[in-house]
A and B are shown apart, each in its own frame.
Chain A
């Protein structure tokens, strides 16, 4: 299995809702990532997990809460989002050191719309 699977593919939520994005990989990668991407812009790193522990938080607002239950799963819990949070959310995974792998493997993303 050489894929990163993200669910759901599309999500519309109100500003008072709570929802979660899910990401799964079975490549044995020990680093997992959340990125946010606006249209025609590069992905912006949000969080990095290494060995299931949060290693990088790029000053993301607390309304985004990541969770890594095990080495194959990564969640992003959403609460009280703002319309400007509407974006494509990409999950990725990789070996911890690039020399042992082929770079990041990305999922196809969740298109989030906050209304």
Chain B
């Protein structure tokens, strides 16, 4: 079975600084997808960024980028120029290529200080 591990229960960052959230996963599959979701206090789970395992190039979405290390099974999220609106719970998630089940990590609470 696939597992996703987020080892940082909480992180803090100063506004305008950069922060990196860690995620590791375990799978025997070669093709899969990885996601970072953000869940602010408003409750809505919002997709931040998505990475296909077959792509070597790291995904980037504006201030959000990932460091995908397939051999190490590592998928960290870097947030640059942090903003107050980035404060939320962040979940790393895994999905098999032909599976419908999204496996979540335990989550990391990100606090942004002004």
A108 CB–B CB distance under 8 Å: yes
- Stretch in B11-19, B20-28, B71-79, B97-105 touching the partner: B97-105
CB distance from B40 to the nearest CB of A (A): 11
- Cα of A102 to Cα of B52 in the assembled complex, Å: 11
- Cα of A37 to Cα of B107 in the assembled complex, Å: 12
Decide: B89 and A40 in contact? CB cutoff 8 A. yes
CB distance from A39 to the nearest CB of B (A): 10
Interface string of B39-61 (1 = CB under 8 A from A): 00011111100101000000000
Interface string of A45-71 (1 = CB under 8 A from B): 100101000011000000000000000
- Cα of A92 to Cα of B105 in the assembled complex, Å: 17
Decide: B107 and A56 in contact? CB cutoff 8 A. no
- Cα of A48 to Cα of B46 in the assembled complex, Å: 19
B-side contacts of A97, CB under 8 Å:
97-98
Decide: B100 and A42 in contact? CB cutoff 8 A. no
The size bracket of the interface on B is 20 to 34
- Cα of A42 to Cα of B101 in the assembled complex, Å: 14
Decide: B107 and A40 in contact? CB cutoff 8 A. yes
Given A102-B47, A108-B43, do A48 and B104 touch, yes or no (CB 8 Å)?
no
Nearest residue in B to A88 (C-beta to C-beta)?
B43
B-side contacts of A28, CB under 8 Å:
none
Decide: B97 and A102 in contact? CB cutoff 8 A. no
A-side contacts of B105, CB under 8 Å:
42
B-side contacts of A43, CB under 8 Å:
45, 91, 104
Interface string of B85-114 (1 = CB under 8 A from A): 000010101010110111011110100000
Interface string of A19-54 (1 = CB under 8 A from B): 000000000000101000000111101001010000
Cβ-neighbour of B43 out of A42, A45, A104, A109 (below 8 A): A109
Residues of A84-101 contacting chain B, CB below 8 A: 88, 90, 92, 94, 96-99
CB distance from A115 to the nearest CB of B (A): 21
7 example contacts (A-B, Cβ-Cβ < 8 A) are as follows A40-B107, A56-B101, A88-B43, A92-B45, A103-B33, A106-B37, A111-B43
Q: With A31-B100, A99-B97, A104-B45 given, can you name 16 additional A-B contacts, CB distance below 8 Å?
A: A40-B107, A43-B104, A45-B101, A45-B102, A56-B101, A92-B45, A98-B52, A98-B97, A102-B50, A103-B102, A104-B47, A105-B47, A106-B44, A106-B46, A108-B43, A111-B43
